[in-house]
């Protein structure tokens, strides 16, 4: 859930900062673009065509800019009204070209209408076909730039929103998967713990009372952690220590355990019951299979931005055998929460089994 919330936040940040300008920004871009058009055309006529400054040109091109602004805003309104579906394809750029041609023709007519209203002269009546085509071609340069920029913006926005929807769907799927895994883990842990109590009651009834108290505390933890995706590392270590103390009552001198902290545990959070599950496996498949018992050592350290928890126990790891539910769930939960940024490696080392859990800091 933490990873999915981070991904959703990144997606929202990207859209809000890059692909979601306000209406004010839109109008500023419109005004800046058409003001630039006036400056370019006035400069072009002044320095390269008329060779002199003609004040009337400022009014002429200003009227054209107003006509263009109104036309392009109307085009934008039309696309919004028809709820045009923005998908990248060759067809969309053919549409952009066709729309640019139509808009250029409309701009030529609209600009002439404004001339007629203001100056009382219709320039279209004085134009020949070649002049009309030239005017349309000239307008296509400016309108084409507007259309291309607008289409690219909409395509990027559509792509980003699709990615955001995919991230949300992935987040929901992973959350459902995690809830299912935790629901399966509770009865798995309870079954193992009750087996330990059952054996202890037979061996030493007095110690079984202490074991029942410890078991009740551990069960309270397993019932509460379903509400959280991450818990403080110190809490996870405390519950794991309670579990090992419970098993120590059962095994006596056959089980010795140590917890070594090389970093302040208050700064880290971990998925609940992962270390507890590793301790269960160490007792069940390691210590419990040895006549003379053995040891379990837990080392908590940091490697850069990663938390590394190493658990070593006496015994022999047989990876070709059946992989239990607990280890499968650990790997699945790590994948769901962190993707490939977290790992669990188990191997034999110097007569012991070493399980190394590596988790990134969030």
Cβ neighbours of 286 (radius 10 Å)? 23
**pLDDT higher than threshold 90 for residue 344:** yes
**pLDDT higher than threshold 70 for residue 235:** yes
Give kind and range of the element (H or E) at residue 349. Answer: strand 343-349
User: What is the predicted pLDDT for the residue at 55?
Assistant: 85
| Tally of CA atoms within 13 A in the half-sphere of 192 that contains its CB | 24
**Residue tagged 């291309």 (tokens):** 148
Average pLDDT of 173-177?
A: 59
Choice between 198 and 121, residue whose per-residue pLDDT is larger:
198
Whole-angstrom CA distances from 216 to 23, 148, 202, 207 are: 60, 67, 19, 14
**Residue tagged 């998967």 (tokens):** 177
SS (H, E, C) 126-142: HCCHHHHHHHHHHHHHH
Residue 51: strand, helix, or coil: coil
What is the C-alpha radius of gyration for the chain, rounded to an integer number of angstroms? 36
**pLDDT higher than threshold 50 for residue 253:** yes
Strands 352-360 and 306-314: antiparallel
Average pLDDT of 318-323?
A: 64
Least confident stretch, 17-31, 128-142, 239-253, 325-339:
17-31
Mean pLDDT of the chain: 81
Structural domains of the chain, ranges and CATH numbers in brackets? 2-168 (no CATH), 204-360 (3.30.565.10)
Give kind and range of the element (H or E) at residue 55. Answer: helix 55-81
Nearest one of 286, 336, 337 to 311, comparing CA atoms? 286
Q: What is the DSSP letter of 230?
A: -
**pLDDT higher than threshold 70 for residue 327:** yes
| Phi, psi values for residue 257, rounded to 5° | -135, 155
**pLDDT higher than threshold 80 for residue 191:** no
User: What is the predicted pLDDT for the residue at 87?
Assistant: 82
| Phi, psi values for residue 146, rounded to 5° | -60, -45
pTM: 0.50
Asked if 255 contacts 283 with a C-beta cutoff of 8 angstroms, the reply is yes
Quote the tokens at residue 52. Answer: 């002199």
| Tally of CA atoms within 13 A in the half-sphere of 332 that contains its CB | 19
């Amino acid at each position: 859930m933490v990873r999915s919330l981070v991904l959703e936040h990144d997606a929202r940040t990207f859209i809000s900062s890059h692909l979601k300008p306000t209406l004010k920004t839109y109008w500023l871009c419109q005004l800046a673009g058409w003001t630039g058009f006036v400056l370019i055309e006035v400069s072009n006529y002044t320095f390269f065509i008329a060779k002199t400054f003609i004040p009337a040109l400022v009014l002429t091109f200003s009227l054209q800019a107003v006509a263009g602004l109104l036309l392009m805003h109307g085009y934008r309104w039309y696309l919004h009204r028809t709820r045009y579906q923005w998908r990248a394809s060759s067809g969309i750029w053919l549409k952009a070209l066709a729309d640019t041609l139509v808009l250029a023709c409309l701009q030529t007519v609209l600009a002439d209408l404004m001339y007629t209203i203001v100056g009382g002269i219709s320039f279209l009546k004085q134009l020949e076909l070649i002049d009309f085509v030239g005017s349309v071609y000239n307008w296509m340069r400016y309108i084409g730039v507007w259309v291309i920029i607008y289409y690219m913006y909409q395509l990027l926005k559509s792509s980003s929103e699709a990615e955001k929807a995919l991230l949300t769907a992935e987040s929901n799927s992973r959350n459902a998967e995690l809830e299912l895994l935790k629901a399966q883990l509770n009865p798995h842990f309870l079954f193992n713990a009750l087996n330990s109590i059952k054996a202890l009651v037979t061996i030493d009834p007095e110690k079984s009372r202490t074991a029942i108290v410890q078991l009740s505390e551990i069960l309270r933890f397993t019932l509460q952690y379903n509400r959280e995706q991450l818990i403080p590392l110190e809490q996870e270590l405390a519950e794991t220590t309670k579990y090992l103390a419970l098993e120590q009552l059962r095994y006596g001198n056959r089980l010795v355990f140590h917890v070594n902290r090389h970093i302040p545990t208050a700064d880290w959070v971990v998925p609940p019951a992962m270390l507890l599950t590793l301790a269960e496996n160490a007792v069940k498949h390691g210590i419990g299979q040895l006549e003379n018992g053995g040891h379990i050592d837990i080392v908590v350290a940091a490697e850069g931005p990663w938390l590394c928890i190493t658990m070593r126990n006496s015994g022999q790891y047989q990876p070709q055998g059946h992989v239990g539910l607990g280890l499968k769930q650990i790997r699945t939960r790590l994948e769901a929460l962190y993707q490939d940024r977290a790992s669990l490696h188990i191997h034999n080392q110097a007569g012991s089994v070493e399980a190394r859990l590596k988790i990134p800091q969030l």
